[in-house]
Amino acid sequence: MSKHRDRVCGADVHKDLIVAKITGGGEDPIEASFGTTKSELKRFEQWLIANNCKQVAFEATGVYWMPVHDLVSLSIDTIVANPWQIRTIPNDKSDAKDADRISELCQNGQIKRSRVFSDEYRDLRTLTRTRSGYVRMRTQIKNRIHKHLSSHGIKLSSCIEDIFGKSGRYILNGLVNETSIHDILKGIPSGKVRKKEDLIRASLCNSLNEVNRHIVGDMLYILDNIDSKIEDTSRTIMNKLQPRIKDLAIVMSIPGIGFVAGSTILAEIGDYHDFETPKSLVKWSGLNPGENESAGKKRPCGITKRGSKYLRTMLTEVAHVIAKSGNSRLSEFFQRLKARKNYNIAITALSRKILCLIHHLLTNQEMYQEDHCKKRQQNTSESDNDIPSSPDTRLDDKVAAIVDAFYHLKGRKRKNVLRERSGSSSRSGALSKRLSGGDG
């Protein structure tokens, strides 16, 4: 970073207000306030140009900085700063003081430029985070249904593993519609569940009252709508990932990573070319150990957690899946570390190793392979490039076909399949558990 720039601006960005101050260049400081509408942002840009401002800096405040950056960066060098790195003195804060402080730091070259995603990666990340939000909403609705059932002594979850599966939903619909227990038990679609007739009859000895039937019925309706939204969002994510379908196949070649996990990891990382080494990616994601040293004494501390919490959460879920699998080198690494450290430290270390591995594979455009691990089975009745391309192909089948193709095809065949798949789209179908890679 160069020192002492000529004419710079520091801006304190809020939801409805921007307080800006231009300093440097041997001229008197200039301070002004602007709104955040499009016309006000245009006026802010013109004010910067009119005062010969060479650079503008502001904090990444929520999402309020995005429209400011998108407009101003077209004509002026813009720096988005991490608020944690330019924190002000406690109890000595105002909008004007913040703008002056940011301007002074910018003029002295003391602000580290934060990484800003392009519109393409930002949209993809918004979609994956929206899907995660839908999953959290679905979990909350399911927990509330469990609560209403338990409050009436209905212990259905004690005899059925998943009360929101096919048989469980049939029983719940019967309770909401006041169907008799005999008819409910008689119509259960799963023979395995019907064998538990005595347990189910005992768990359904009580019934829901009118209010709770109404509430549970509404929640089941909302649950179906959320499931539909999750499927639609997943298809949209798949379409957005068409230009990066090879990167998706590479990430999904790692054990424990399915479509949901792979798409989330790619969306949160963005352009992996921004990171020269795996260590820089790990540090950016907040999985690197923190440093705590005083008077020459080093004290152990956890990871920094200063990166994307969505990326860390997904990598942790993948690490748990790999730790339970026990048939890969990654799981062997976890078991070796677990013998010396505790479980949580081993999971975090495995998450870091997975992220380093992802960076290596993406940078070198290689698929993950292990000689002693079981490879994906190829259907011998189909040729190598015979991938289903029907409009009615399920989304999970489509993703699986793409990944399988990259496992078995080489050279030009692999490129031809990639070109074919980039032009196709899927219309219907939900993601299966095999490809989910976790619900997060």
Structure tokens at 271: 């352009």
Q: What whole-number distance in Å separates Cα of residue 27 and Cα of residue 289?
A: 45
| pLDDT, position 298 | 79
Q: Which amino acid is at 164?
A: F
Structure tokens at 277: 């080494």
Spell 304-319 as b/e; 16+ CB within 10 A means b: eebbbebbbbbbbbbb
Which residues in the chain are classed under CATH 3.30.420.10? 8-107
Q: What whole-number distance in Å separates Cα of residue 248 and Cα of residue 362?
A: 9
CB 429 within 8 A of CB 396: yes
User: Which residue pairs from 203-209 have beta carbons closer than 8 angstroms and sit at least 24 positions apart in sequence?
Assistant: 203/154, 203/155, 203/156, 203/158, 203/159, 204/154, 204/156, 204/171, 204/175, 205/153, 206/152, 206/153, 206/154, 207/152, 207/154, 207/175, 207/178, 208/148, 208/149, 208/152, 208/154, 208/175, 208/176, 209/152
Cα→Cα distances 392→403, 416, 436, Å: 19, 22, 20
Q: What whole-number distance in Å separates Cα of residue 10 and Cα of residue 19?
A: 8
273 secondary structure, DSSP code: G
pLDDT one digit per residue (tens) for the chain, 440 residues: 444 557 999 999 999 999 999 998 888 899 999 999 999 999 999 999 999 999 999 999 889 999 999 999 999 999 999 988 888 777 778 899 999 999 999 998 899 999 999 999 999 999 999 999 999 999 999 999 999 998 888 888 888 888 999 999 999 999 999 888 889 888 999 888 888 888 888 888 888 888 989 999 999 999 999 999 999 999 999 999 999 999 999 999 999 999 999 999 999 999 999 999 999 999 999 998 887 878 888 777 888 888 899 999 999 999 999 999 877 899 999 999 999 989 999 999 999 999 999 999 999 999 998 865 444 433 333 333 333 333 345 666 666 666 665 655 544 454 454 445 544 444 334 334 434 444 44
DSSP helix/strand/coil, 335: helix
CA dihedral (34, 1, 293, 347) positive or negative: positive
Q: Which amino acid is at 313?
A: T
Residue 195 CB-density burial (10 A; 0-12 exposed, 13-18 middle, 19+ buried): exposed
Q: Would the pTM count as exceeding 0.75?
A: yes
| pLDDT, position 252 | 93
Nearest to 172 by CA among 195, 199, 145: 145
Tell me which CATH code domain 121-234 carries. Answer: 1.10.287
Q: Which amino acid is at 365?
A: Q
Q: What whole-number distance in Å separates Cα of residue 240 and Cα of residue 120?
A: 8
CB 18 within 8 A of CB 36: yes
Which residues in the chain are classed under CATH 1.10.287? 121-234
Pick 8-107's CATH classification: 3.20.20.210, 3.30.420.10, 3.30.460.10, 1.20.140.10. 3.30.420.10
Other beta carbons within 10 angstroms of residue 373's beta carbon come to 14
Structure tokens at 110: 């003391």
Supply angle C-alpha 144, 147, 148, rounded to 5: 95
DSSP H stretches of helix in 188-328: 191-194, 197-203, 210-240, 245-252, 259-269, 278-285, 309-325
Please provide residue 315's backbone torsions phi and psi, each rounded to the nearest 5 degrees: -65, -35
CB 341 within 8 A of CB 299: no
Cα→Cα distances 298→123, 294, 302, 432, Å: 42, 7, 13, 47
Spell 242-255 as b/e; 16+ CB within 10 A means b: eebbbbbbbbbbbb
Structure tokens at 396: 């999970």
Rg of the Cα atoms in the chain: 27
CB 258 within 8 A of CB 277: no
DSSP H stretches of helix in 270-387: 278-285, 309-325, 329-340, 343-364
CB 10 within 8 A of CB 2: no
